[in-house]
Amino acid sequence: MNKANPFARLIATWFGCGLSPWAPGTAGSAAALAIAIALHHYLGFGRWHFLAMAALLALPAVWSAGVAARDAGVEDPGFVVVDEVLGQWITLAGAAAYNWKSYLAAFALFRLFDIWKPFPVRQLEALPGGLGINADDAMAGLYAALVLFLAGCFNLV
């Protein structure tokens, strides 16, 4: 990746997580989850906080992913993982409670929907630039949040 904009690269790779040689998307999701666990544990963050965090990250995520993709000359580079952070935080907003089961379920469900890409997740990738890079993960996060919410309604997590 061209280092023309180091700030965009920092956000797009989520502070280097996207540079992981093994499963950078999973590394980005794990980092988002670790941040969320710490914020819940130490500051009592919950559903609305995680949704607000995702909303606040949306514009910088679209911008940085677009810049990083343009610099790399690749439509959706693997090192861009800010979209996984966005999707993981959206997923966590669906949890009824925060414990090891809900964290594990949120992580697994988001990764499942992000990889599987059911309609319209895959179609959202076709949006231009950073918007397409992030929109599919946001939709995967919404699907995962819905499943997590329903599981919480039945006390499964």
Does a structural domain hold residue 4? Answer: no
In a domain, 5, yes or no: no
Confirm whether 10 is domain-assigned: no
Asked if the structure places residue 78 within a domain, the reply is yes
In a domain, 136, yes or no: yes
Contact 2, 55 (CB under 8 A): no
Classify residue 9: in a domain, yes or no.
Answer: no
0.85 exceeded by the pTM? Answer: yes
- Cis peptide leading into residue 128 (ω within 30°): no
**pLDDT at res. 155:** 85
- Rounded CA separation 45/43 (Å): 6
- Cβ neighbors of 77 (< 8 A, separation 6 or more) are 1, 68, 69
* Residue 138 CB neighbours (<10 A): 20
In a domain, 12, yes or no: no
Provide the 3-class DSSP secondary structure of residue 15.
coil
Q: What is the pLDDT of residue 3?
A: 65
pLDDT attached to residue 156: 85
Find all residues with CB under 8 Å of 66, minimum gap 6, and list them: 129, 130, 131, 133
**CA pair distance 110, 64, nearest whole angstrom:** 22
**Interatomic CA distance for residues 83 and 113, integer angstroms:** 13
Structural domains of the chain, count: 1
Question: Which residues of the chain carry a pLDDT beneath 70?
Answer: 1-4
Note down the domain range covering 102.
22-153
102 within domain boundaries: yes
- Residue 54 has which token pair? 């995702």
